[in-house]
Amino acid sequence: MQPAAQRHVYLNLDAIRGVAAISVMLYHFSPFLADGKVLPSSYLAVDLFFLLSGFVIAHAYDRKIETGMGFGTFVAIRLIRLYPLYLAGTLLGFFYLLVKNRLMPAEYMPLSEIGMQLTTGMFFIPLVSDAYHTIFPLNPASWSLFFELIVNIAYVAVFVLLSRRVLTGIVGASLVLLVVASVFAGTLDFGMTGKTIVSGLPRVTFSFFLGVLLCRSMARWQGSFGFLRRGFWVEGAILLTLAVFAIAPAAGGARIAYDLCAIVIVFPIMVMTGAVAPTAPRLSGVYGWLGRISYPIYIIHTPMLMIIAGAGKAFSIDPFAHHPLFGIVMAATVVVIADIATRVYDEPVRRFLQRQMQRARAVA
Nearest in space to 300 (alpha carbons), one of 328, 325, 326, 337: 337
The answer, yes or no, to whether residue 34 has pLDDT greater than 70, is yes
Cβ atoms 49, 151 nearer than 8 A: no
The answer, yes or no, to whether residue 93 has pLDDT greater than 60, is yes
Range 11-35 average pLDDT:
94
Range 330-351 average pLDDT:
96
DSSP 3-state of 242? helix
Helices (H), the chain: 11-28, 30-33, 45-66, 71-103, 111-122, 142-157, 164-185, 200-216, 218-221, 233-246, 253-261, 267-276, 284-314, 324-341, 347-363
Would you state the pLDDT for residue 258? 98
Which pLDDT band, with edges at 50, 70 and 90, does 289 fall under? very high
Distance, in Å, from the CA atom of 52 to the CA atom of 215, rounded to the nearest integer, reads 10
Reported pTM: 0.94
Distance, in Å, from the CA atom of 292 to the CA atom of 342, rounded to the nearest integer, reads 7
Range 147-163 average pLDDT:
97
Which pLDDT band, with edges at 50, 70 and 90, does 228 fall under? confident
DSSP code per residue over 3-59: PPPPP---HHHHHHHHHHHHHHHHHHTHHHH-SS-SSTTGGGHHHHHHHHHHHHHHH
Would you state the pLDDT for residue 261? 98
DSSP code per residue over 278-290: PPPGGGHHHHHHH
Would you state the pLDDT for residue 5? 39
Distance, in Å, from the CA atom of 109 to the CA atom of 87, rounded to the nearest integer, reads 21
Range 318-330 average pLDDT:
77
Range 5-29 average pLDDT:
88
Would you state the pLDDT for residue 212? 98
Distance, in Å, from the CA atom of 112 to the CA atom of 121, rounded to the nearest integer, reads 14
Read off the pLDDT of residues 258-286 as tens digits, 9 standing for 90 and up: 999 999 999 999 999 999 999 989 999 99
Read off the pLDDT of residues 174-225 as tens digits, 9 standing for 90 and up: 999 999 999 999 999 999 999 999 999 999 999 999 999 999 998 777 666 7
Which pLDDT band, with edges at 50, 70 and 90, does 230 fall under? confident
Nearest in space to 90 (alpha carbons), one of 140, 148, 152, 150: 140
Would you state the pLDDT for residue 235? 94
AA identity, residue 64: K
Would you state the pLDDT for residue 104? 84
The answer, yes or no, to whether residue 290 has pLDDT greater than 80, is yes
The answer, yes or no, to whether residue 90 has pLDDT greater than 80, is yes
Which pLDDT band, with edges at 50, 70 and 90, does 317 fall under? low
Residue 252 Rama label (left phi>0; alpha psi -120 to 50; beta): left
pLDDT, averaged across the chain: 92
Would you state the pLDDT for residue 8? 60
Which pLDDT band, with edges at 50, 70 and 90, does 1 fall under? very low
Q: Give Cβ neighbours of residue 77 (< 8 Å, ≥ 6 apart).
A: 357
